[in-house]
Amino acid sequence: MEMSATEALRQQSTSPPPEPPPASSNIRGRRAEAFEKLLDNALEATFAKVSYDNFSACFPTWAAYKARTLADFHGKFVGRLRTTCNENFESIIEDRKVVPTLNSLDNLIADAIARKEAAEAEASASGNLIKTPSPPHSWPADALFAAHLAPFLTQQTSTLGGQLSSVEEQNISLAETVAQQNREIDMLVGNLETVIRDLEAAAALAQGTELQGLSQETRDMSNELHANHAPT
């Protein structure tokens, strides 16, 4: 008696899963191999529909008079179609990173199974009952929304925290630069004020000496005038 698909899946789910490959590896894991097998079967079923009988029914005149030529063209057409489909699907699988993504799913499920087994072993050792988690489809909308959004928010919080720390460091560096420039400006202003005071003192000294010289010349001229006009 053949095993039904449901029984096969149930037996497969209860059997211990193989060690999954690294998520970033191109090694085909369990689900990647199943996906490629499913894709190959689908393509083979598609190519099987393009049989010579179905193909020749579209070209009855050629089938009647040029059967060998039509058969040769059919073989080349199917071969070219097979090659093109395989190349296109391989390109899509590579561009979309299907294998690493399925490997990540394998790792996620393997981790969940390992944590479940560890929790069951711990509960069995302590004699506690294992609380069956509620299935996600029974969660309220808010809980589902938070569960899907939490990883994104955590990543964004970490990114923004790093950017904020970088900006704070830049602000501290700019503040130190501004403070240093202010100190240099104060020093330059102080030096300039000292030079101005020296110039003012020199100007005052020069002006005082010049006034003293003018006063002496004025007195000399006055004495000379008095001497010339004095009675003999």
Task: Examine residue 220 and state whether it is found in any structural domain, yes or no.
Answer: yes
Contact 134, 142 (CB under 8 A): no
pLDDT tier for residue 24 given thresholds of 50, 70 and 90? low
For residues 114 and 40, state if they share a domain. Answer: yes
* Torsion angle (degrees, nearest 10) of CA 100, 102, 104, 105: 170
Number of residues in the chain = 232
Residues 97 and 195 in one domain: no
Specify whether 122 is located in the same domain as 20.
Answer: yes
Residue 49 and residue 114 share a domain = yes
Residue 76 pLDDT greater than 90, yes or no: yes
Question: Whole-model pTM above 0.75?
Answer: no
Q: Residue 133 is part of which domain span?
A: 10-141
Of the residues 90, 110, 141, which one is the last residue of a structural domain?
A: 141
Tokens of 142: 């808010």
Looking at the 3D structure of the chain, how many domains does it have? 2
Model pLDDT for residues 108-141, shown as the tens digit of each residue: 999 989 988 888 888 788 777 777 778 878 888 8
Q: Is the pLDDT of residue 21 over 70?
A: no
**Together in a domain, 63 and 112:** yes
Closest CA to 39 of 4, 85, 3, 78: 85
Please state, in angstroms and rounded to a whole number, the distance separating the CA atoms of residues 60 and 65: 9
Q: Is the same domain home to 119 and 183?
A: no
- 97 and 191 together in one domain: no
Instruction: Report whether pLDDT(153) > 50.
Output: yes
Residues 129, 213 within the same domain? no
Same domain? For 173 and 94 the reply is no
pLDDT value at position 11? 45
**pLDDT tens digits along 176-225:** 999 999 999 999 988 888 888 887 777 777 666 655 666 666 666 666 66
88 lies in the same domain as 45: yes
Residue 217 lies inside a defined structural domain of this protein: yes
Q: What is the per-residue pLDDT for 173?
A: 93
Final residue before a domain boundary, out of 107, 141, 175: 141
76 within 8 A of 69, measured Cβ to Cβ = no
pLDDT of residue 181: 93
